[in-house]
């Protein structure tokens, strides 16, 4: 008595790498953006002013300019990391290189 394994419709079908919407470059950009956001928030941390004592450090350049700017740039970079499709740019560059090679060989 032998049994045959049949394929069912519940099997997972793997997508090829060319079909994936994000590639390693996108994830690297998003990781760098996430670190920038965290660093920006860390730069904004500091001791607050109380009713008994005024802390002039709440108006420091690090807390009101540099920290928010790094955080904002991190959010922008995160958006770009999601939107940019580096695979498309690589394909267009490869076709341009191939076209140049074909033109050079045709001239000979």
pLDDT tens digit string along 45-97? 988 888 898 988 889 999 999 999 999 999 999 999 999 887 676 666 665 55
Q: Tokens 């955080």 label which residue? A: 71
- Picking from 13, 1, 17, the residue whose alpha carbon sits closest to that of residue 90 is 17
Length of the chain: 108
> 36, 76, 44: which is closest to 60 by C-alpha?
44
**Between residues 107 and 83, which one has the greater pLDDT?**
83
Q: Which residues of 4-15 are buried (b: 16+ CB within 10 A; e: fewer)?
A: eeeeeeeeeeee
Q: Strands, DSSP E only, in 40-87? A: none
Predicted pLDDT of residue 23? 87
Read off the tokens for 105: 């060989």
Can you tell me the distance from the alpha carbon of 39 to that of 67, in angstroms, rounded to the nearest whole number? Answer: 8
pTM exceeding the 0.75 threshold for the entire prediction: no
What's the rounded Cα separation, in Å, for the pair 28 and 86?
Answer: 12
């Amino acid at each position: 008595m032998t049994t045959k394994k049949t394929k069912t419709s519940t099997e997972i079908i793997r997508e090829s790498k060319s079909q994936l919407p994000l590639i390693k470059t996108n994830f690297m950009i998003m990781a760098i953006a996430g670190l920038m956001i965290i660093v920006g928030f860390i730069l904004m941390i500091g001791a607050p002013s109380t009713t008994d004592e005024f802390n002039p450090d709440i108006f420091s350049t690090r807390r009101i300019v540099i920290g928010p700017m790094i955080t904002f740039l991190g959010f922008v970079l995160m958006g770009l990391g999601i939107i940019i499709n580096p695979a498309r740019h690589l394909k267009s560059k490869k076709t341009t290189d191939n076209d140049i090679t074909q033109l050079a060989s045709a001239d000979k």
